[in-house]
Amino acid sequence: MQDLADGAAPTTVLADAVDLARDAAVEAADGEAAQVGAHLEVVAEDATAATHYFAADKPGYRGWTWAVTVMGTDEVTLGEVALLPGAGAVVAPEWVPWNERVRAEDLAPGDLLPVDEDDERLVPAHASLDDDEPGVEEVRAVADELGFGRPRVMSPEGRFDAAERWTGGDFGPTAEMARAASAHCGTCGFYLSLGGSLRSAFGVCGNGNVPADGHVVHCEYGCGGHSELQVDTGSVVMVAELVYDDGVDMEPASDGNA
């Protein structure tokens, strides 16, 4: 069976090299001819190369195909043999580096989670200074010479990543607790603002009576422990200033001898 690639058909000599391609696939299958199934198609790579595809009847490779590339104009030579996954093939998930697979809840007491030297979330401490600030170059020069401060601080990218994560978390403005609250953390006396560029949007809850205690909360988060909530101790029954007695006066019934 032949197929077209980008509108071009393989040359006859390349298309007819089915046996050569099959032999190469069998050799790649350690000589197990039964592992090379039916010829599926031949696809032109360019004017002098084409790839033959065979079904792979190899145990554990359901849905895979043998791909054998042949080349030439008058005389055909063997190029490359590969086992490729098809549309229904079972393949391993995409590999993800371990430091990207680890989740916050995976870190147990005593575990160490080192960061890469080129972690984009961190920059040298003096590099976080705003270039527009007066005297910033002099400050950086002194910091480098004397080694003051922490070696690295969070970069703008790192701070943005943290802000995005906190905003969408359990103590962000869209949390169920926040949606039901009558007031926001930004107006609460227990709200301890963060420093730096995150100050305008985040703080730490200092109310020991609520679940958010000790957590970073968004200024638009809220709960039932707001400092300005007051319990109304007055009467729950509305009483008018003037009370009118419009009832009927009752008198003893006459016995007829009066």
Q: How far apart are CA 138 and CA 141, in angstroms?
A: 5
63-77 pLDDT per residue, tens: 899 999 999 988 899
pLDDT tens-digit readout, 196-240: 789 999 999 999 889 999 999 999 999 989 988 875 656 556 655
CA 169/CA 176 separation, integer angstroms: 11
Nearest alpha-carbon partner for 170 in 207, 226, 217: 217
Answer for the pair 24, 81: CB distance below 8 angstroms, yes or no. yes
